[in-house]
């Protein structure tokens, strides 16, 4: 991916800068009716909210057991950087997916911020992990097909399709 930014990137970064401070998981999550796979659309008032909703969608699709009321077994700060928001969303969900499937852990997302940087965008999230039985449904991967992260009025919208 070239480092050159498009006008859309620059608009996105400007908007993201304005919204780097998170205000909670307000928004909506809707499952898409994809013939072969599973997808969902998100709408949120901030980029961080959008990425949080996408994580909720993934956790729901995986059918992970709830971690509420249980002390986490591990906690970490995840930091990811990518050239654009769509690749950052895929990278974020992939990290959660692989950890959930390989280590059989349920993530709980704490603070989450997505902000523009010189070379693209960065995500910083505090994630706690609770060991358990792992997913009840296999998700092979987070795809780039139909992937979308874009401004929508005052907020953000996006779409992700999972290969199941």
Partner 1 sequence: MVRLERLDDSRWLIPRSGDMRTEGLVFADDRLMDQLRHDKALEQVANVACLPGIVGRSLAMPDIHWGYGFPIGGVAAFDVEDGVISPGGVGYDINCGVRLLRSDLHEADVRGRLNPLMDQLFRALPSGVGSRRTDFALAPADLKGVLADGASWVVARGYGWPEDLDAIESRGRLAGADPGSLSERAKKRGRNQLGTLGSGNHFAEVQVVDEVYDERTAEAFGLAEGNIAFMIHCGSRGLGYQVCDDSLETMLDAAAKYRIKLPDRQLCCAPIPSPEGRRYVGAMNAAANFAFGNRQMLAHKAREVFARVFGESAAANMHTVYDVCHNIAKFEEHSFEGERRTVCVHRKGATRAFPAGHRELPPRYRSTGQPVLVPGDMGRYSFVAVATAAGFDEALGSSCHGAGRMMSRTQSRKRMRGRDIKREFRERGIEIRSDRARTVAEEVPEAYKDVEDVVRVVASAGIGRPVARLRPIGVVKG
Pick the stretch among 105-113, 119-127, 138-146, 151-159 that binds partner 1 (CB under 8 A): 138-146
Regarding 12 and contact with partner 1 (CB under 8 A), the answer is: no
Between residue 37 and residue 96, which ones bind partner 1 under the rule CB under 8 A?
37-38, 63, 86-87, 94
Q: Quick check: 1 binds partner 1 (CB under 8 A)?
A: yes
Cα dihedral 40/92/117/2 (nearest 10): -80
Under rule CB under 8 A, residue 21 binds partner 1: no
Q: Which residues contact 11 (CB under 8 A, 6 or more apart)?
A: 151
Q: Measuring CA to CA, which residue among 108, 155, 123, 161 is closest to residue 139?
A: 161
From candidates 102, 118, 153, 154, binder to partner 1 by CB under 8 A? 102
Of 146, 141, 31, 82, which Cα lies nearest the Cα of 160?
146
Give least dist CB 62 to partner 1, A.
8
Asked if 85 and 47 touch (Cβ cutoff 8 Å), the reply is yes
Binding site for partner 1 (CB under 8 A): 1-2, 31, 33-38, 63, 86-87, 94, 98, 101-102, 104, 134-138, 140-141, 143-147, 161, 163-164
């Amino acid at each position: 991916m070239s480092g050159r930014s498009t006008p859309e990137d620059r608009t996105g970064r400007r908007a993201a800068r304005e919204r780097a401070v998170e205000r909670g998981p307000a928004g909506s999550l809707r499952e898409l009716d994809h013939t072969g796979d599973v997808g969902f659309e998100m709408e949120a008032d901030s980029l961080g909210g959008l990425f949080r909703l996408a994580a909720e969608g993934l956790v729901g699709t995986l059918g992970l057991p709830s971690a509420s009321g249980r002390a986490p077994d591990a906690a970490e700060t995840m930091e990811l950087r990518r050239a654009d928001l769509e690749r950052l969303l895929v990278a974020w969900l992939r990290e959660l997916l692989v950890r959930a499937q390989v280590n059989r852990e349920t993530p709980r997302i704490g603070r989450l911020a997505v902000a523009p940087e010189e070379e693209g965008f960065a995500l910083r999230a505090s994630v706690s992990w609770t060991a358990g039985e792992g997913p009840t449904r296999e998700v092979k991967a987070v795809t780039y097909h139909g992937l979308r992260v874009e401004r929508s009025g005052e907020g953000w919208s996006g779409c992700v399709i999972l290969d199941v």
